[in-house]
Copies of this chain bind each other. A is one copy, B any other.
Amino acid sequence: MTVSRVINNTGRISESTRARVKQVMEELNYVPNSMARSLVKQETKMLSLLITDITNPFYTTLARGAEDTAMRNGYKLLFGNSDEDYAKERDYVDMVLSTRADGVLFAPAGDGSAEHLRMLQRRNVPFVILDREVPGIEADHVLGDSREGARRLVEHLLDLGHTRIAMVGGRQDVSTARLRYAGYLEALKLADIPFDPALVHDVGYTAVEGMAFVDDLLSAEAPPTAVFAANNFLALAVIRALRVRDVRVPDDLSVVCFDDFGESIALDPFLTVARQPAYEFGSLGMQLLIERIQGAAGAAPRKIVLPSELVVRQSSAAPPGVV
């Protein structure tokens, strides 16, 4: 008990015993057992961040934002990676529940994550949802302006003179994929361009393979002159697929996408993108989470929508034949 008082600076301790305790702690390399403490305090000072793709710079940057903010508030952060896979996500939720994290920053794999989020709700584990909304779940959110951003990207292509614009989208059980699709449609509608379903292909956000449809696009009667990819990895996959087929970007075909790549890594940023403030996704989300844990937040769920920024680079240009 006396030791506990010294460690936590609580109660009254004479300077002499305090010193003695500290010295013995030093001698024995004593480190308090945080599990024992958590067991009685019913609080772990551990938070958890679940992302869907640890190789995507959007998420690693987000992770840094979350970690920095957690650290500053005296929390440790546990990372997890669901790989866009509901089964892994479920395992991760089990783990979070059994380790009794004080809260979770949750980037859901998709609409099917509702079940997992409800598990958290039932156990009263506070959480904040990042990046993707999940129908049926009321909670704090930090989101991007997927619809708006998509519209702006497509409008950028329209402004350049494109009229046949293909879209490569994510799985339709992911809210951002739906909204980006909606933004795409909206831009076409506003410009009075007829919608051609043959130009739209949905693959997973990480589907680097499965680019066979590119052949269909290219060999179509009226092939597209531009492609809007719903995220950064899809754009890369498309560009690689085009290169294999000797299609030049942007000379033959323009490509734009959502999400940038890490600035620290890219030497020659090439893609025209809607850049999302990834770091802020993490730091703001963490802030909301900590407020909620500490009871500083009202009952009503809060929703933060972060604007994206249109960054025009070389991958988008006027369609062939147009000056």
Q: Which A positions have Cβ atoms within 8 angstroms of B?
A: 29, 31-36, 38-39, 44, 54-55, 57, 60-61, 63-64, 67, 76, 78-79, 81, 94-95, 97-100, 119, 122-123, 208, 233, 236, 239-240, 261-262, 264-268, 270-271
Contacts and interface: CB of A to CB of B under 8 A. Distances in A.
A236 B31 CA distance: 41
B265 A268 contact: no
A99 B261 CA distance: 34
A270 B270 contact: no
B79 A79 contact: yes
Contacts of A271: 267
A235 to B, nearest CB: 9
B262 A265 contact: yes
Contacts of A119: 29
B264 A29 contact: no
Given A122-B29, A236-B264, A264-B233, A76 B95 contact: yes
A123 B33 CA distance: 12
A64 B54 contact: yes
Given A31-B98, A39-B35, A55 B262 contact: yes
State the 10 A-B residue pairs at the shortest beta-carbon distance, nearest first: A34-B98, A31-B97, A35-B35, A79-B79, A29-B122, A31-B98, A35-B39, A35-B38, A34-B99, A55-B264
8 contacts: A33-B98, A33-B100, A36-B39, A54-B60, A55-B60, A55-B64, A262-B265, A266-B266
A34 B54 CA distance: 26
Contacts of A233: 264
A2 B35 CA distance: 24
A262 B35 CA distance: 37
Given A32-B98, A35-B38, A39-B35, A264 B208 contact: yes
Centre residue among A61, A264, A267 by max chain B CB count within 10 A: A267
